């Protein structure tokens, strides 16, 4: 599988269709795989956290979640076909699972949200096989029990709705215990699907302004991540361009 290295991270420059084909192959192989996505914020986190960087770069499949990664990659001379946003991949995988008969497990968010997501997906896809679901509120000592329950569910795919870097750490630590072919961190996707938070309009997604839409929704919480973080990311891109 083609792979490039930019801004401290590996990346598989795939479009959505190619990504779904790769995931199908991963599930058929039955070897536990941790999937990750990168965006400007993740690149900044990886620069500060060597262990996170190691976890991300060890993942066999890494997609460009943010439009910033696509633009930065092209600016640095790489051919990156498109953004494969985590939430879009999540939605597409649920549909694919209903078609292929894959068993899916939902893990994260509040009990109300995760149950709403499961109910919505089952209504949309009557053939969808839900292996199970669990909210994301637990004590660390419960992690082994949770991972074992996921293993017993015989899931083919697990969607983990935590924030970064918690989801990367947790999946990495319990991937083998879960013994699930494909485990994917989906961040706040459950909240979007359940209607708790709104996603930016399509035109903002396509023009790379989805971050600004999120900032407007939660300016205090998102100021450091987006304004300070985006400036740091921009500096990294310029530095890498000059060093090449």
Residue 154: both structure tokens together: 């015989």
The range of the structural domain enclosing residue 24 comes to: 4-194
Residue 160 bridge partners (DSSP):
107, 185
Residue written as token pair 């970064």: 164
DSSP 227: I
Phi, psi of 203 (to 5 degrees): -65, -35
Q: How many domains does the chain have?
A: 1
Q: Is the dihedral of CA 111, 147, 190, 116 positive or negative?
A: negative
Residue 176 sits in a domain whose CATH number is 3.40.50
The answer to whether residue 190 is domain-embedded is: yes
The answer to whether residue 206 is domain-embedded is: no
Torsion of CA 217, 69, 84, 196, to 10 degrees: -10
The answer to whether residue 235 is domain-embedded is: no
Q: Are 177 and 153 in contact (CB under 8 A)?
A: no
Q: How far apart are CA 203 and CA 97, in angstroms?
A: 28
The answer to whether residue 31 is domain-embedded is: yes
Q: How far apart are CA 52 and CA 215, in angstroms?
A: 25
Q: Are 187 and 161 in contact (CB under 8 A)?
A: yes
% of the chain with per-residue pLDDT over 90:
78
DSSP 66: S
**Which pLDDT tens digits describe the chain residue by residue (244 residues)?**
689 999 999 999 999 999 999 999 999 999 999 999 999 999 999 999 999 999 999 999 999 998 899 999 999 999 999 999 999 999 999 999 999 999 999 999 999 999 999 999 999 999 999 999 999 999 999 999 999 999 999 999 999 999 889 999 999 999 999 999 999 999 889 999 998 887 767 777 776 767 666 766 766 766 566 667 788 989 999 998 888 7
The answer to whether residue 214 is domain-embedded is: no
């Amino acid at each position: 599988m083609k792979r490039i290295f930019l801004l401290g991270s590996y990346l598989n420059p795939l479009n959505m269709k190619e990504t779904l084909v790769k995931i199908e192959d991963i599930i058929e192989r039955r070897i536990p795989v941790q999937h990750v996505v990168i965006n400007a914020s993740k690149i900044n986190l990886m620069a500060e956290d060597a262990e996170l960087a190691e976890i991300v770069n060890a993942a066999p499949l890494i997609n460009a979640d943010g439009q910033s990664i696509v633009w930065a990659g092209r600016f640095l001379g790489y051919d990156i076909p498109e953004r494969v946003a985590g939430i879009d991949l999540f939605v597409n995988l649920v549909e694919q699972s209903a078609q292929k008969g894959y068993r899916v497990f939902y893990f994260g968010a509040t009990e109300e949200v995760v149950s709403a997501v499961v109910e919505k997906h089952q209504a949309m896809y009557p053939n969808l096989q839900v292996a199970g679901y669990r909210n994301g509120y637990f004590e660390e000592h419960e992690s082994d029990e949770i991972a074992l329950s996921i293993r017993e569910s015989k899931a083919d795919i697990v969607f983990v709705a935590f924030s970064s870097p918690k989801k990367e750490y947790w999946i990495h630590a319990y991937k083998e215990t879960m013994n699930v072919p494909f485990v994917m961190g989906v961040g706040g996707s459950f909240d979007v699907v359940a209607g708790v938070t709104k996603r930016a309009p399509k035109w903002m997604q396509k023009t790379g302004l989805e971050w600004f839409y999120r900032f407007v929704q939660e300016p205090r919480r998102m100021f450091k991540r987006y304004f300070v973080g985006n400036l740091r990311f921009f500096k990294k891109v310029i530095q890498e361009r000059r060093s090449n």
